[in-house]
Amino acid sequence: MTQAEIKLCSLLLQEHFGEIVEKIGVHLIRTGSQPLRVIAHDTGTSLDQVKKALCVLIQHNLVIYQVHKRGVVEYEAQCSRVLRILRYPRYIYTAKTLYNDTGELIVEELLLNGKMTMSAVVKKVADRLTETMEDGKTMDYAEVANTFVRLADTHFVQRCPLVPAAENSDAGPPPPAPTLVINEKDMYLVPKLSLIGKGKRRRSSEEDATGEPKAKRPKHTPDNKEPIPDDGIYWQANLDRFHQHFRDQAIVSAVANRMDQTSSEIVRTMLRVSEITTPSSAPFTQPLSSNEIVRSLPVGYNISKQVLDQYLTLLADDPLEFVGKSGDSGGGMYVINLHKVLGSLATATLESVVQERFGSRCARIFRLVLQKKHLEQKQVEDFAMIPAKEAKDMLYKMLSENFISLQEIPKTPDHAPSRTFYLYTVNILSAARMLLHRCYKSIANLIERRQFETKENKRLLEKSQRVEAIIASMQATGAEEAQLQEIEEMITAPERQQLETLKRNVNKLDASEIQVDETIFLLESYIESTVKR
């Protein structure tokens, strides 16, 4: 765990959950697994506050717990899961792209609340969608439930582990902490709910949905409450499935850039057909025959079997080896080599960074060393056709930044410099790790800058919000245009300009965060894939 990652985790926890949760979370990240009382003692926080903070962290899957043999429960922070908070906007946008506004709000609610029952999500989303509709229109619960089922069928949401029924009925003393289990075949099984109803609009605080004033409403006792149909069955967003989708999108985009649109559509079809059957950590997709691929192509692509075979042969013969042939049955069996694809994407990212930081000549040397594996300094000068002095400067510059490494091969055991070969090489894994570390530092800097910009203009932002609230309330009561104009003039022209500048800067910082996170995703996927091999 590097200092850059800890700092980034600290900023994310503080921004989303507040100071106390951040204090407990960062302490667990630094120290590893610890029992409750030790956490309270080391952080100087009251036991009650530590319990509440741990509840929040467990609810959002940021902390896990385990019971030791002596019955002590220890809590451990999931640093990698904390860093996923950066990707929340991307998860939500993906759900919107695939399943419209309903899918977007379902995923947003699950990410904001950590874990929720299906009935609670459906009601909340239906209410939120009804709020945005025109008067007289409402969102049906059944429509939201259908979208939820589609998300579960494609594994974008999954069930949370439960306490087994046997553990609840056991007559003995309860364990210090429950053991949560889930059967893999039940993970995406949606309970049969008859959710009948429509989304409700918010009323004023004095009246409820029926229009009755508060004073006249009968008080409901807890016994009057209807039982929740899916009580105890909680759902969460399946982040691994989202990552699989991002990886597939990157592969399709890479094939489109290298070949053409038809090739990318063939690869997209192969990925789509095997997306549920292929585990997210697998190095290859499930083998598909060309007959299966031609049947699964989108309706708009009227490609004959012969043309498809030519495209598949072209993809299989490509030097990057994105697509491989695994057999001849069924007109030929083809797989996508996911590990090779991730390696190529990580290498392209490194090349791009070298070009941006050091220029095109350095990028030429970097690509040369990548291609030839090992080169002496004289060979680099000759192959790259760059003068000796310049080539030496560029090599040392990249060596000092850890983009390339130097390997010594001695002719004699004494390692005398005159009798030693010095070979330049690129270790893609270590270079990717170094770049990933820099990306974490960059994002932490971007977040700090955004917070500074907002803090500097806090008074102006509060004034702008107040004015907007007054205008909104006046519009609701049917105020005249002249009165609204008068209220708008409370913000002067220089202040309005300052607000525009702030908005532009914050948007730019947000966009930069998302772009850096895309690089982080590619590098993390490559490192994970390589380490597993």
pLDDT in tens, 283-324: 888 888 878 778 888 777 777 778 888 888 888 887 877 888
Q: In a 3-state reduction of DSSP, which class is residue 326?
A: strand
- Label residues 459-490 b or e (16+ Cβ within 10 Å = b): eeeeebeeeeeebeeeeeeeeeeeeeeeeeee
Cα–Cα dist 160/183, whole Å:
10
Task: For residue 105, name the pLDDT band (cuts at 50, 70, 90).
Answer: very high
**Kind and range of the H or E element at 41?**
helix 36-43
State the pLDDT at residue 407: 80
State the pLDDT at residue 166: 61
The answer on pLDDT for 212 being more than 60 is no
Cα–Cα dist 399/381, whole Å:
16
Of residues 417 and 498, the one with the higher pLDDT is: 498
Of residues 466 and 176, the one with the higher pLDDT is: 466
Q: Which of 10-19, 192-201, 473-482 is the least confident region?
A: 192-201
Of residues 68 and 173, the one with the higher pLDDT is: 68
The answer on pLDDT for 446 being more than 90 is yes
List pLDDT tens digits, range 342-400: 888 999 999 899 888 888 888 888 888 888 888 877 887 788 788 888 888 888 888 88
Cα–Cα dist 130/198, whole Å:
8
State the pLDDT at residue 437: 92
Q: Are residues 75 and 63 in contact, defined by beta-carbon separation less than 8 angstroms?
A: yes
| Predicted TM-score of the model (pTM) | 0.83
Beta strands in 341-451 (DSSP E): 405-410, 420-425
Q: Name the one residue in this structure whose structure tokens are 């080169």.
A: 375
165: phi then psi, degrees, rounded to nearest 5: -60, -35
Q: Which two tokens stand for residue 199?
A: 């989304």
Average pLDDT over residues 154-171: 73
Burial class of residue 400 (count of CB atoms within 10 Å of its CB; 0-12, 13-18, 19+): exposed
Q: In a 3-state reduction of DSSP, which class is residue 64?
A: strand
482 backbone φψ class: left, alpha, beta (φ>0; ψ -120 to 50)? alpha
State the pLDDT at residue 440: 92
Q: In a 3-state reduction of DSSP, which class is residue 76?
A: strand
Q: How many CA atoms lie within 13 A of 1 on its CB side?
A: 18
The answer on pLDDT for 427 being more than 80 is yes
State the pLDDT at residue 186: 76
Q: In a 3-state reduction of DSSP, which class is residue 426?
A: coil
Look over the chain and give the mean of its residue pLDDT values, rounded to a whole number. 82
State the pLDDT at residue 181: 75
Q: How many CA atoms lie within 13 A of 4 on its CB side?
A: 14
The answer on pLDDT for 223 being more than 50 is no
List pLDDT tens digits, range 119-137: 888 888 888 888 887 777 7
Q: DSSP class of residue 68?
A: -
Cα–Cα dist 373/398, whole Å:
16
End-to-end CA distance of the chain: 22
State the pLDDT at residue 207: 44
Cα–Cα dist 65/179, whole Å:
10
Q: Which two tokens stand for residue 380?
A: 């680099």
Task: For residue 91, name the pLDDT band (cuts at 50, 70, 90).
Answer: very high
The answer on pLDDT for 265 being more than 80 is yes
Of residues 184 and 371, the one with the higher pLDDT is: 371
The answer on pLDDT for 163 being more than 80 is no
The answer on pLDDT for 204 being more than 60 is no
Q: Distances from the Cα of 31 to the Cαs of 6, 19, 38, 84, 150, in angstroms?
A: 11, 18, 11, 21, 41
Q: Which two tokens stand for residue 108?
A: 């947003």
Average pLDDT over residues 52-67: 88
Q: Which two tokens stand for residue 36?
A: 């409750």
List pLDDT tens digits, range 461-476: 888 888 888 888 877 7
State the pLDDT at residue 521: 92
State the pLDDT at residue 219: 47
Q: Are residues 91 and 20 in contact, defined by beta-carbon separation less than 8 angstroms?
A: no
State the pLDDT at residue 210: 46
Task: For residue 205, name the pLDDT band (cuts at 50, 70, 90).
Answer: very low
In the chain, what percentage of residues exceed pLDDT 70? 90
Q: In a 3-state reduction of DSSP, which class is residue 213?
A: strand
State the pLDDT at residue 442: 92
Q: Name the one residue in this structure whose structure tokens are 């979208």.
A: 147
Task: For residue 338, name the pLDDT band (cuts at 50, 70, 90).
Answer: confident
The answer on pLDDT for 244 being more than 70 is yes
Task: For residue 43, name the pLDDT band (cuts at 50, 70, 90).
Answer: confident
The answer on pLDDT for 189 being more than 90 is no
State the pLDDT at residue 96: 92
The answer on pLDDT for 419 being more than 90 is no
- For residue 36, give the nearest of 77, 73, 76 by alpha carbon: 73
Give the length of the chain: 533
